[in-house]
Amino acid sequence: TALVTEITELARDLASPHGPAVHLHLISSAGGLFDGHTHVGAETEPAPQRPYGIGKLAQERLLASAAAATPGLSAHIYR
């Protein structure tokens, strides 16, 4: 998560509403985020139960909030 934080800060510095867009891509973990669930849909809220899943959810939230607050920055999260 520390490395994702560092990369996100760099992307924020590079992003500009009038320049080229910066796109961050994160490969996350459906297994880690939905540990113990047997049926998961688009509306299912992540409920990680182990440190790995908790860390992946923190990374997703960090990228999503940075993209929402920074013009020219977008986050793409793949589970």
For the stretch 1-45, pLDDT in tens is 899 999 999 999 999 888 889 999 999 989 999 998 888 888 999
Tell me the angle at which helices 51-69 and 2-14 cross, rounded to the nearest 10 degrees.
10
d(CA 21, CA 52): 30
Q: In whole angstroms, how large is the CA radius of gyration of the chain?
A: 14
Tokens 């996350």 label which residue? 28
Q: Supply the pTM of this predicted model.
A: 0.88
If pLDDT is split at 50, 70 and 90, which confidence band does 67 have? Answer: very high
Buried b (16+ CB within 10 A) or exposed e, 22-60: bebebebbebbbbeeeeeeeeeeebebeeeebebbbebb
